[in-house]
Structure 1
Amino acid sequence: MTYWLLKNFLLGPLILTLFRPWVIGREHVPAKGPVIFASNHISFIDSVILPAVLDRRISFLAKSDYFTGRGLKGWATKTFFNAIGQLPIDRSGGKASEASLRTGLQVLARGEQLGIYPEGTRSPDGKLYRGRTGIARMILEGRVTVVPVAMIGTREVQQIGQKIPKAKRVGVVFGKPLDFSRFAGFETDRFILRSVTDEVMHELAGLSRQEYVDVYATSVKERATSAREQVMKDRRTPAAAATEATAADR
Protein backbone atom coordinates (compact mmCIF):
# COMPACT_ATOMS: atom_id res chain seq x y z
CA MET A 1 0.00 0.00 0.00
CA THR A 2 2.84 2.42 0.86
CA TYR A 3 4.50 1.69 -2.48
CA TRP A 4 1.23 2.27 -4.36
CA LEU A 5 0.51 5.57 -2.61
CA LEU A 6 3.98 7.01 -3.10
CA LYS A 7 4.27 5.73 -6.65
CA ASN A 8 0.98 7.25 -7.79
CA PHE A 9 0.46 10.27 -5.57
CA LEU A 10 3.78 11.51 -4.21
CA LEU A 11 7.17 10.16 -5.28
CA GLY A 12 6.16 9.10 -8.78
CA PRO A 13 4.67 12.44 -9.87
CA LEU A 14 7.61 14.27 -8.28
CA ILE A 15 10.16 12.18 -10.18
CA LEU A 16 8.30 12.61 -13.47
CA THR A 17 8.13 16.38 -12.93
CA LEU A 18 11.76 16.90 -11.92
CA PHE A 19 13.47 14.62 -14.43
CA ARG A 20 10.90 14.42 -17.25
CA PRO A 21 12.14 10.99 -18.38
CA TRP A 22 11.76 10.17 -22.05
CA VAL A 23 11.11 6.52 -22.88
CA ILE A 24 11.93 4.44 -25.95
CA GLY A 25 10.72 0.87 -26.46
CA ARG A 26 7.81 0.91 -24.06
CA GLU A 27 6.10 -1.65 -26.33
CA HIS A 28 8.70 -4.20 -25.18
CA VAL A 29 7.45 -4.08 -21.57
CA PRO A 30 5.04 -6.98 -20.87
CA ALA A 31 1.68 -5.89 -19.46
CA LYS A 32 1.53 -8.86 -17.10
CA GLY A 33 3.47 -11.81 -15.77
CA PRO A 34 6.92 -12.12 -14.21
CA VAL A 35 9.69 -10.06 -15.82
CA ILE A 36 13.38 -9.47 -15.17
CA PHE A 37 14.62 -6.02 -16.17
CA ALA A 38 18.38 -6.24 -16.70
CA SER A 39 19.75 -2.71 -16.45
CA ASN A 40 23.02 -0.84 -16.59
CA HIS A 41 23.80 1.03 -13.38
CA ILE A 42 25.40 4.47 -13.59
CA SER A 43 23.69 6.29 -10.72
CA PHE A 44 21.82 5.67 -7.48
CA ILE A 45 18.84 7.39 -9.03
CA ASP A 46 18.45 4.57 -11.58
CA SER A 47 16.42 2.70 -8.96
CA VAL A 48 14.08 5.69 -8.67
CA ILE A 49 13.65 6.54 -12.35
CA LEU A 50 12.86 3.04 -13.60
CA PRO A 51 9.92 2.42 -11.22
CA ALA A 52 8.51 5.84 -12.13
CA VAL A 53 8.14 4.95 -15.81
CA LEU A 54 6.65 1.49 -15.23
CA ASP A 55 2.97 0.88 -14.58
CA ARG A 56 3.51 -2.18 -12.39
CA ARG A 57 5.56 -2.53 -9.22
CA ILE A 58 9.21 -3.45 -9.67
CA SER A 59 11.49 -4.73 -6.91
CA PHE A 60 15.27 -4.48 -6.60
CA LEU A 61 17.65 -6.38 -4.34
CA ALA A 62 19.45 -3.98 -1.98
CA LYS A 63 21.99 -4.41 0.81
CA SER A 64 20.38 -4.89 4.21
CA ASP A 65 22.33 -1.96 5.71
CA TYR A 66 19.74 0.40 4.22
CA PHE A 67 17.06 -1.15 6.44
CA THR A 68 18.85 -1.43 9.79
CA GLY A 69 19.57 2.21 10.67
CA ARG A 70 18.32 3.61 13.97
CA GLY A 71 16.53 6.78 14.95
CA LEU A 72 14.61 9.11 12.68
CA LYS A 73 17.19 8.91 9.90
CA GLY A 74 17.14 5.11 9.98
CA TRP A 75 13.34 5.06 9.86
CA ALA A 76 13.26 7.54 6.96
CA THR A 77 15.84 5.54 5.00
CA LYS A 78 14.02 2.26 5.56
CA THR A 79 10.67 3.80 4.58
CA PHE A 80 12.14 5.31 1.41
CA PHE A 81 13.76 2.06 0.26
CA ASN A 82 10.61 0.09 0.97
CA ALA A 83 8.62 2.68 -0.95
CA ILE A 84 10.72 2.33 -4.11
CA GLY A 85 10.55 -1.46 -4.04
CA GLN A 86 13.95 -2.34 -2.55
CA LEU A 87 14.24 -5.74 -0.86
CA PRO A 88 16.85 -6.22 1.90
CA ILE A 89 19.56 -8.79 1.18
CA ASP A 90 22.46 -9.76 3.44
CA ARG A 91 25.46 -9.58 1.10
CA SER A 92 27.98 -10.84 3.66
CA GLY A 93 29.10 -14.43 4.02
CA GLY A 94 29.31 -17.32 1.60
CA LYS A 95 25.55 -17.82 1.32
CA ALA A 96 24.79 -14.23 0.29
CA SER A 97 24.48 -14.91 -3.45
CA GLU A 98 22.19 -17.88 -2.81
CA ALA A 99 19.96 -15.72 -0.59
CA SER A 100 19.74 -13.09 -3.32
CA LEU A 101 18.82 -15.74 -5.87
CA ARG A 102 16.05 -17.19 -3.74
CA THR A 103 14.60 -13.79 -2.86
CA GLY A 104 14.54 -12.81 -6.53
CA LEU A 105 12.90 -16.08 -7.55
CA GLN A 106 10.19 -15.54 -4.92
CA VAL A 107 9.37 -12.16 -6.48
CA LEU A 108 9.13 -13.74 -9.93
CA ALA A 109 7.06 -16.66 -8.66
CA ARG A 110 4.43 -14.12 -7.56
CA GLY A 111 4.21 -12.89 -11.15
CA GLU A 112 5.95 -9.60 -10.35
CA GLN A 113 8.73 -7.54 -11.93
CA LEU A 114 12.35 -7.70 -10.74
CA GLY A 115 15.10 -5.22 -11.54
CA ILE A 116 18.69 -6.48 -11.65
CA TYR A 117 21.99 -4.71 -12.22
CA PRO A 118 24.21 -7.41 -13.76
CA GLU A 119 27.39 -5.43 -13.03
CA GLY A 120 26.68 -5.88 -9.33
CA THR A 121 27.51 -2.27 -8.46
CA ARG A 122 27.38 1.22 -9.91
CA SER A 123 29.84 1.99 -12.67
CA PRO A 124 32.69 4.06 -11.21
CA ASP A 125 33.23 6.04 -14.42
CA GLY A 126 30.22 5.64 -16.69
CA LYS A 127 31.59 2.66 -18.61
CA LEU A 128 29.80 -0.70 -18.82
CA TYR A 129 31.57 -3.52 -17.01
CA ARG A 130 31.49 -7.32 -17.02
CA GLY A 131 28.28 -8.86 -15.75
CA ARG A 132 27.99 -11.23 -12.80
CA THR A 133 26.53 -14.62 -13.66
CA GLY A 134 23.96 -14.47 -10.85
CA ILE A 135 21.53 -12.88 -13.29
CA ALA A 136 21.90 -15.86 -15.64
CA ARG A 137 21.01 -18.30 -12.86
CA MET A 138 17.91 -16.30 -12.04
CA ILE A 139 16.93 -16.12 -15.71
CA LEU A 140 17.30 -19.86 -16.26
CA GLU A 141 15.78 -21.00 -12.96
CA GLY A 142 12.93 -18.50 -13.14
CA ARG A 143 12.24 -19.18 -16.82
CA VAL A 144 10.81 -15.69 -17.27
CA THR A 145 10.87 -12.86 -19.78
CA VAL A 146 14.08 -10.80 -19.74
CA VAL A 147 13.97 -7.18 -20.90
CA PRO A 148 17.27 -5.26 -21.21
CA VAL A 149 16.95 -1.62 -20.19
CA ALA A 150 19.43 1.24 -20.48
CA MET A 151 19.39 4.25 -18.21
CA ILE A 152 20.53 7.36 -20.08
CA GLY A 153 21.89 10.55 -18.50
CA THR A 154 21.31 9.58 -14.86
CA ARG A 155 25.03 9.82 -14.04
CA GLU A 156 24.94 13.51 -14.93
CA VAL A 157 21.99 13.92 -12.57
CA GLN A 158 23.58 12.20 -9.58
CA GLN A 159 27.14 10.91 -9.51
CA ILE A 160 28.63 8.65 -6.85
CA GLY A 161 28.95 10.62 -3.61
CA GLN A 162 26.51 13.34 -4.71
CA LYS A 163 23.68 13.52 -2.17
CA ILE A 164 21.29 15.90 -3.93
CA PRO A 165 20.47 15.13 -7.60
CA LYS A 166 20.25 17.81 -10.26
CA ALA A 167 16.92 18.45 -11.95
CA LYS A 168 17.91 17.37 -15.47
CA ARG A 169 16.11 15.28 -18.05
CA VAL A 170 16.97 11.57 -18.30
CA GLY A 171 16.05 8.70 -20.57
CA VAL A 172 15.05 5.03 -20.38
CA VAL A 173 15.47 2.66 -23.33
CA PHE A 174 13.79 -0.76 -23.26
CA GLY A 175 15.17 -3.39 -25.62
CA LYS A 176 13.43 -6.37 -27.15
CA PRO A 177 12.84 -9.27 -24.73
CA LEU A 178 15.61 -11.88 -24.75
CA ASP A 179 14.83 -15.58 -25.11
CA PHE A 180 17.08 -18.04 -23.28
CA SER A 181 14.74 -21.03 -23.33
CA ARG A 182 17.34 -22.91 -25.40
CA PHE A 183 19.44 -23.17 -22.24
CA ALA A 184 16.74 -24.73 -20.04
CA GLY A 185 18.23 -27.33 -17.71
CA PHE A 186 21.72 -25.79 -17.74
CA GLU A 187 21.29 -23.64 -14.61
CA THR A 188 24.51 -25.00 -13.06
CA ASP A 189 26.71 -25.00 -16.15
CA ARG A 190 29.19 -22.17 -15.61
CA PHE A 191 29.97 -21.85 -19.32
CA ILE A 192 26.28 -21.45 -20.16
CA LEU A 193 25.83 -18.97 -17.32
CA ARG A 194 28.70 -16.89 -18.65
CA SER A 195 27.31 -17.06 -22.19
CA VAL A 196 23.86 -15.88 -21.06
CA THR A 197 25.36 -13.07 -18.98
CA ASP A 198 27.59 -11.89 -21.82
CA GLU A 199 24.62 -11.82 -24.20
CA VAL A 200 22.72 -9.61 -21.76
CA MET A 201 25.70 -7.27 -21.44
CA HIS A 202 26.07 -7.13 -25.24
CA GLU A 203 22.46 -5.96 -25.52
CA LEU A 204 22.98 -3.37 -22.78
CA ALA A 205 26.08 -2.01 -24.51
CA GLY A 206 24.09 -1.57 -27.71
CA LEU A 207 21.19 0.17 -25.98
CA SER A 208 23.24 2.44 -23.71
CA ARG A 209 26.11 3.19 -26.14
CA GLN A 210 28.51 2.82 -23.22
CA GLU A 211 32.09 1.70 -23.71
CA TYR A 212 32.29 -1.94 -22.61
CA VAL A 213 35.18 -3.10 -20.42
CA ASP A 214 35.56 -6.84 -19.85
CA VAL A 215 36.52 -6.66 -16.18
CA TYR A 216 34.39 -6.46 -13.05
CA ALA A 217 33.50 -2.97 -11.82
CA THR A 218 34.31 -4.02 -8.26
CA SER A 219 37.91 -4.76 -9.33
CA VAL A 220 38.20 -1.27 -10.81
CA LYS A 221 36.87 0.25 -7.59
CA GLU A 222 39.26 -1.78 -5.46
CA ARG A 223 42.25 -0.68 -7.53
CA ALA A 224 41.14 2.95 -7.30
CA THR A 225 40.80 2.66 -3.52
CA SER A 226 44.26 1.11 -3.21
CA ALA A 227 45.73 3.88 -5.36
CA ARG A 228 44.14 6.57 -3.19
CA GLU A 229 45.44 4.90 -0.03
CA GLN A 230 48.92 4.74 -1.51
CA VAL A 231 48.80 8.44 -2.40
CA MET A 232 47.74 9.30 1.16
CA LYS A 233 50.52 7.10 2.50
CA ASP A 234 53.08 8.83 0.30
CA ARG A 235 51.90 12.22 1.52
CA ARG A 236 52.62 11.46 5.15
CA THR A 237 55.03 13.82 6.87
CA PRO A 238 58.42 12.41 7.86
CA ALA A 239 57.46 12.83 11.50
CA ALA A 240 54.27 10.79 11.07
CA ALA A 241 56.14 8.07 9.20
CA ALA A 242 58.76 7.91 11.94
CA THR A 243 56.07 7.66 14.61
CA GLU A 244 54.38 4.75 12.77
CA ALA A 245 57.71 3.00 12.33
CA THR A 246 58.49 3.37 16.03
CA ALA A 247 55.08 2.03 17.01
CA ALA A 248 55.54 -0.94 14.71
CA ASP A 249 58.88 -1.82 16.32
CA ARG A 250 57.42 -1.96 19.81
Structure 2
Amino acid sequence: MTEAAEAPTGNTEDEGNEAPTKKPGAVYYLGRTLISGVAKTVFRPTITGRENVPKTGPVILASNHLSFIDSIVIPISAPRPVQFLAKSTYFTGTGFKGWVSRNFFTAIGAVGVERGAGQAAQDALDQGKRILDGGNAFALYPEGTRSLDGRLYRGRTGIAWLALTTGATVVPVGLIGTQEIQPVGTTMPRVRKVTVKFGEPIDVSHYGPATSGKARRQATDEIMAAIHALTGQELAGSYNEAPPSGTLHRIADKVFPRERI
Protein backbone atom coordinates (compact mmCIF):
# COMPACT_ATOMS: atom_id res chain seq x y z
CA MET A 1 0.00 0.00 0.00
CA THR A 2 1.59 3.17 -1.15
CA GLU A 3 -0.86 5.99 -0.52
CA ALA A 4 -2.01 7.64 2.71
CA ALA A 5 -5.53 6.94 3.95
CA GLU A 6 -7.46 6.75 7.16
CA ALA A 7 -7.64 3.38 8.89
CA PRO A 8 -11.22 2.07 9.00
CA THR A 9 -13.17 3.16 12.06
CA GLY A 10 -16.81 2.85 11.01
CA ASN A 11 -19.34 0.05 10.58
CA THR A 12 -17.76 -3.36 10.32
CA GLU A 13 -20.91 -5.48 10.15
CA ASP A 14 -20.15 -6.63 6.63
CA GLU A 15 -16.62 -7.78 7.51
CA GLY A 16 -16.14 -11.50 7.03
CA ASN A 17 -18.69 -11.81 4.19
CA GLU A 18 -15.82 -12.13 1.73
CA ALA A 19 -14.33 -15.61 1.52
CA PRO A 20 -10.80 -15.90 2.93
CA THR A 21 -8.01 -16.06 0.37
CA LYS A 22 -6.87 -19.62 -0.30
CA LYS A 23 -3.34 -20.75 0.38
CA PRO A 24 -0.84 -20.43 -2.51
CA GLY A 25 -1.12 -23.13 -5.17
CA ALA A 26 1.23 -25.25 -7.28
CA VAL A 27 2.63 -22.33 -9.31
CA TYR A 28 3.73 -20.64 -6.11
CA TYR A 29 5.46 -23.69 -4.66
CA LEU A 30 7.24 -24.55 -7.90
CA GLY A 31 8.30 -20.94 -8.50
CA ARG A 32 9.38 -20.42 -4.89
CA THR A 33 11.57 -23.52 -5.00
CA LEU A 34 13.27 -22.46 -8.24
CA ILE A 35 13.67 -18.77 -7.38
CA SER A 36 14.77 -19.53 -3.83
CA GLY A 37 17.44 -21.97 -4.99
CA VAL A 38 18.90 -19.55 -7.51
CA ALA A 39 18.72 -16.49 -5.22
CA LYS A 40 20.30 -18.23 -2.24
CA THR A 41 23.12 -19.58 -4.42
CA VAL A 42 23.86 -16.20 -6.01
CA PHE A 43 23.24 -13.77 -3.14
CA ARG A 44 23.94 -16.07 -0.17
CA PRO A 45 21.77 -14.06 2.25
CA THR A 46 22.40 -14.15 5.99
CA ILE A 47 19.10 -15.14 7.61
CA THR A 48 18.46 -15.10 11.34
CA GLY A 49 15.41 -15.67 13.54
CA ARG A 50 13.44 -17.97 11.22
CA GLU A 51 12.28 -19.82 14.33
CA ASN A 52 10.38 -16.67 15.37
CA VAL A 53 7.86 -17.13 12.52
CA PRO A 54 4.90 -19.27 13.66
CA LYS A 55 4.57 -22.37 11.47
CA THR A 56 0.79 -22.15 11.31
CA GLY A 57 -1.96 -19.58 11.70
CA PRO A 58 -2.26 -15.97 10.51
CA VAL A 59 0.94 -13.96 10.79
CA ILE A 60 1.96 -10.53 9.52
CA LEU A 61 5.59 -10.10 8.51
CA ALA A 62 6.14 -6.37 9.05
CA SER A 63 9.26 -5.18 7.25
CA ASN A 64 11.21 -2.06 6.42
CA HIS A 65 11.26 -1.34 2.69
CA LEU A 66 14.39 -0.37 0.75
CA SER A 67 14.05 -1.93 -2.71
CA PHE A 68 11.73 -3.71 -5.14
CA ILE A 69 13.80 -6.82 -4.44
CA ASP A 70 12.46 -6.89 -0.85
CA SER A 71 9.32 -8.64 -2.06
CA ILE A 72 11.47 -11.48 -3.37
CA VAL A 73 13.90 -11.62 -0.45
CA ILE A 74 11.19 -12.04 2.20
CA PRO A 75 9.33 -14.99 0.59
CA ILE A 76 12.54 -16.92 -0.14
CA SER A 77 13.84 -16.32 3.39
CA ALA A 78 10.70 -17.11 5.37
CA PRO A 79 10.15 -20.65 6.69
CA ARG A 80 6.58 -20.79 5.33
CA PRO A 81 4.68 -19.54 2.27
CA VAL A 82 4.21 -15.76 2.28
CA GLN A 83 1.79 -13.59 0.32
CA PHE A 84 1.93 -9.85 -0.25
CA LEU A 85 0.11 -7.20 -2.26
CA ALA A 86 1.33 -6.01 -5.65
CA LYS A 87 -0.01 -3.72 -8.37
CA SER A 88 -2.89 -5.37 -10.24
CA THR A 89 -1.25 -4.40 -13.55
CA TYR A 90 1.36 -7.10 -12.96
CA PHE A 91 -1.41 -9.65 -13.52
CA THR A 92 -3.37 -8.07 -16.37
CA GLY A 93 -0.79 -7.82 -19.16
CA THR A 94 -1.32 -9.58 -22.47
CA GLY A 95 0.88 -11.66 -24.73
CA PHE A 96 4.06 -13.42 -23.71
CA LYS A 97 5.28 -10.54 -21.54
CA GLY A 98 1.99 -10.51 -19.65
CA TRP A 99 2.16 -14.28 -19.17
CA VAL A 100 5.69 -14.05 -17.78
CA SER A 101 4.76 -11.20 -15.41
CA ARG A 102 1.62 -12.93 -14.19
CA ASN A 103 3.36 -16.23 -13.48
CA PHE A 104 6.42 -14.62 -11.92
CA PHE A 105 4.43 -12.58 -9.41
CA THR A 106 2.18 -15.53 -8.67
CA ALA A 107 5.32 -17.60 -8.06
CA ILE A 108 6.64 -15.19 -5.42
CA GLY A 109 3.29 -15.01 -3.61
CA ALA A 110 1.94 -11.70 -4.90
CA VAL A 111 -1.79 -10.92 -4.84
CA GLY A 112 -3.00 -8.19 -7.20
CA VAL A 113 -4.67 -5.08 -5.81
CA GLU A 114 -5.43 -1.57 -7.02
CA ARG A 115 -3.09 0.99 -5.44
CA GLY A 116 -4.10 4.43 -4.25
CA ALA A 117 -5.88 6.40 -1.57
CA GLY A 118 -9.44 6.29 -0.29
CA GLN A 119 -11.41 3.24 -1.42
CA ALA A 120 -8.35 1.71 -3.11
CA ALA A 121 -6.49 1.77 0.22
CA GLN A 122 -9.48 0.23 2.00
CA ASP A 123 -9.69 -2.48 -0.67
CA ALA A 124 -6.01 -3.26 -0.06
CA LEU A 125 -6.68 -3.64 3.66
CA ASP A 126 -9.65 -5.88 2.94
CA GLN A 127 -7.52 -8.07 0.67
CA GLY A 128 -4.90 -8.35 3.41
CA LYS A 129 -7.63 -9.34 5.87
CA ARG A 130 -8.85 -12.09 3.55
CA ILE A 131 -5.30 -13.45 3.29
CA LEU A 132 -4.96 -13.54 7.09
CA ASP A 133 -8.47 -14.96 7.58
CA GLY A 134 -7.30 -17.89 5.45
CA GLY A 135 -4.61 -18.63 8.04
CA ASN A 136 -1.81 -17.40 5.77
CA ALA A 137 1.37 -15.39 6.26
CA PHE A 138 1.14 -11.86 4.87
CA ALA A 139 4.11 -9.54 4.29
CA LEU A 140 3.49 -5.81 4.69
CA TYR A 141 5.58 -2.62 4.64
CA PRO A 142 4.17 -0.29 7.32
CA GLU A 143 6.09 2.68 5.85
CA GLY A 144 3.80 2.45 2.83
CA THR A 145 6.46 2.74 0.16
CA ARG A 146 10.20 2.17 -0.10
CA SER A 147 12.64 4.55 1.53
CA LEU A 148 14.70 6.43 -1.04
CA ASP A 149 17.20 7.76 1.49
CA GLY A 150 17.68 4.65 3.64
CA ARG A 151 15.97 6.11 6.71
CA LEU A 152 13.14 4.35 8.54
CA TYR A 153 9.88 6.29 8.27
CA ARG A 154 6.87 6.38 10.56
CA GLY A 155 4.50 3.42 10.25
CA ARG A 156 0.97 3.76 8.97
CA THR A 157 -1.75 2.33 11.16
CA GLY A 158 -3.35 -0.05 8.66
CA ILE A 159 -0.98 -2.77 9.90
CA ALA A 160 -2.35 -2.42 13.43
CA TRP A 161 -5.92 -2.50 12.13
CA LEU A 162 -5.16 -5.79 10.38
CA ALA A 163 -3.48 -7.32 13.42
CA LEU A 164 -6.21 -6.20 15.85
CA THR A 165 -9.03 -7.20 13.50
CA THR A 166 -7.73 -10.67 12.59
CA GLY A 167 -5.82 -11.56 15.76
CA ALA A 168 -2.73 -12.23 13.66
CA THR A 169 0.68 -12.38 15.27
CA VAL A 170 3.10 -9.71 14.03
CA VAL A 171 6.72 -10.68 13.32
CA PRO A 172 9.01 -7.69 12.64
CA VAL A 173 11.46 -8.15 9.78
CA GLY A 174 14.68 -6.20 9.28
CA LEU A 175 16.19 -6.06 5.80
CA ILE A 176 19.75 -4.81 5.46
CA GLY A 177 21.54 -4.22 2.16
CA THR A 178 18.70 -4.88 -0.30
CA GLN A 179 18.97 -1.34 -1.67
CA GLU A 180 22.45 -2.28 -2.93
CA ILE A 181 21.11 -5.24 -4.92
CA GLN A 182 18.70 -3.13 -6.94
CA PRO A 183 19.04 0.63 -6.30
CA VAL A 184 16.13 2.86 -7.26
CA GLY A 185 16.17 3.52 -11.00
CA THR A 186 17.98 0.30 -11.98
CA THR A 187 16.43 -2.73 -13.67
CA MET A 188 19.10 -5.40 -13.32
CA PRO A 189 19.96 -6.72 -9.84
CA ARG A 190 23.58 -6.73 -8.67
CA VAL A 191 25.27 -9.33 -6.49
CA ARG A 192 25.53 -7.80 -3.02
CA LYS A 193 25.42 -9.11 0.55
CA VAL A 194 21.99 -8.98 2.19
CA THR A 195 20.83 -9.76 5.72
CA VAL A 196 17.31 -10.78 6.74
CA LYS A 197 16.38 -10.70 10.43
CA PHE A 198 13.10 -12.10 11.76
CA GLY A 199 12.40 -10.59 15.19
CA GLU A 200 10.46 -11.96 18.12
CA PRO A 201 6.66 -12.19 17.64
CA ILE A 202 4.54 -9.27 18.85
CA ASP A 203 1.02 -9.56 20.28
CA VAL A 204 -0.68 -6.16 19.99
CA SER A 205 -4.09 -7.22 21.33
CA HIS A 206 -3.50 -5.57 24.73
CA TYR A 207 -3.63 -2.11 23.15
CA GLY A 208 -7.38 -2.34 22.62
CA PRO A 209 -9.88 -2.82 19.78
CA ALA A 210 -9.22 -2.07 16.12
CA THR A 211 -11.82 0.73 16.30
CA SER A 212 -9.57 2.72 18.65
CA GLY A 213 -7.28 5.18 16.91
CA LYS A 214 -5.07 5.30 19.99
CA ALA A 215 -4.72 1.50 20.01
CA ARG A 216 -3.81 1.44 16.33
CA ARG A 217 -1.22 4.18 16.77
CA GLN A 218 0.41 2.59 19.82
CA ALA A 219 0.50 -0.86 18.24
CA THR A 220 2.02 0.53 15.06
CA ASP A 221 4.68 2.42 17.00
CA GLU A 222 5.69 -0.76 18.87
CA ILE A 223 6.01 -2.63 15.57
CA MET A 224 8.15 0.12 14.04
CA ALA A 225 10.37 0.22 17.15
CA ALA A 226 10.95 -3.53 16.76
CA ILE A 227 11.88 -3.10 13.09
CA HIS A 228 14.27 -0.29 14.03
CA ALA A 229 15.94 -2.50 16.63
CA LEU A 230 16.64 -5.05 13.89
CA THR A 231 17.95 -2.64 11.23
CA GLY A 232 19.54 0.22 13.16
CA GLN A 233 18.37 2.66 10.46
CA GLU A 234 18.30 6.38 11.09
CA LEU A 235 14.77 7.42 12.04
CA ALA A 236 13.10 9.93 9.72
CA GLY A 237 10.46 10.94 12.26
CA SER A 238 7.86 11.53 9.56
CA TYR A 239 5.72 9.68 7.02
CA ASN A 240 7.28 8.61 3.75
CA GLU A 241 5.38 10.79 1.34
CA ALA A 242 5.73 13.97 -0.67
CA PRO A 243 4.87 17.12 1.33
CA PRO A 244 1.33 18.42 0.71
CA SER A 245 1.08 21.12 -1.95
CA GLY A 246 -0.46 24.48 -1.26
CA THR A 247 -0.59 26.57 1.92
CA LEU A 248 -4.14 25.53 2.88
CA HIS A 249 -3.31 21.86 2.40
CA ARG A 250 -0.24 22.16 4.60
CA ILE A 251 -2.21 23.95 7.33
CA ALA A 252 -5.02 21.38 7.19
CA ASP A 253 -2.55 18.52 7.40
CA LYS A 254 -1.05 20.00 10.58
CA VAL A 255 -4.38 20.86 12.23
CA PHE A 256 -6.17 17.65 11.25
CA PRO A 257 -3.41 15.03 10.83
CA ARG A 258 -4.82 11.80 9.39
CA GLU A 259 -3.91 8.32 10.48
CA ARG A 260 -1.88 6.57 7.82
CA ILE A 261 -2.12 3.04 6.52
With normalisation by structure 1, the TM-score equals 0.83
Query: Against the structure 1 CA distance between its residues 123 and 33, is the aligned structure 2 distance closer, same or farther, given a 3 Å change threshold?
Result: same
Q: Does 2:197 align with 1:173?
A: yes
Q: Show the 5 A alignment for 1:58-207.
A: 58-92=82-116, 94-184=118-208, 186-207=209-230
Report if aligned partners of 1:18, 1:168 keep a CA contact under 8 Å in 2: no
| Counterpart residue number, 1:37 | 61
C-alpha displacement of 1:28: 0.9
Whether the 8 Å contact between 1:124 and 1:217 is mirrored in structure 2 is no
Cα contact 2:175–2:196 (8 A) shared by 1:
yes
2:4 is matched with which residue? none
Distance in 1, Cα, partners of 2:37 & 2:132: 27
Q: Unaligned regions of 5+ residues in structure 1, if any?
A: 223-250
TM superposition shift of 1:192: 1.8
Amino acid corresponding to residue 106 of structure 1 in structure 2: R
Partners of 1:142 and 1:215 in 2: CA distance: 27
* Percent of aligned pairs sharing the same letter: 45
Rg comparison, structure with higher value: 1
**Higher RCO structure, 1 or 2 (CA under 8 Å, sep 6+):** 2
Mapped contact 2:53–2:171 kept (Cα < 8 A): yes
Structure 2 residues without counterparts, runs of 5 or longer: 1-25, 246-261
- The alpha-carbon deviation at position 92 of structure 1 amounts to 3.6
CA distance in structure 1 between the aligned counterparts of 2:137 and 2:170, rounded to whole angstroms: 10
CA RMSD of aligned residues (A): 1.7
1:212 alignment counterpart = 235
Query: Offset of 1:80 from its aligned partner?
Result: 1.1
Check the 8 A contact 1:124/1:221 in 2, yes or no.
no
2-side partners of 1:92 and 1:205: how far apart? 26
Pairwise CA distance, 1:221? 11
Give the Cα–Cα distance (whole angstroms) in 1 for the partners of residues 244 and 55 of structure 2: 38
The one-character-per-residue Cα deviations of 1:124-178 (angstroms, maximum 9, x if unpaired) are 1111111111111001001111100001111111111111111122110111111
- Report how many residues are paired: 220
Kindly indicate whether the alpha-carbon contact (under 8 Å) linking 1:28 and 1:175 is maintained by their aligned counterparts in 2: yes
Deviation at 1:20, TM superposition (A): 0.6
Determine the structure 2 residue equivalent to 1:28. 52
Q: Secondary structure at the match of 1:217?
A: coil
Check conservation: 1:51, 1:84, Cα contact below 8 A: yes
- TM-score when normalising by structure 2: 0.80
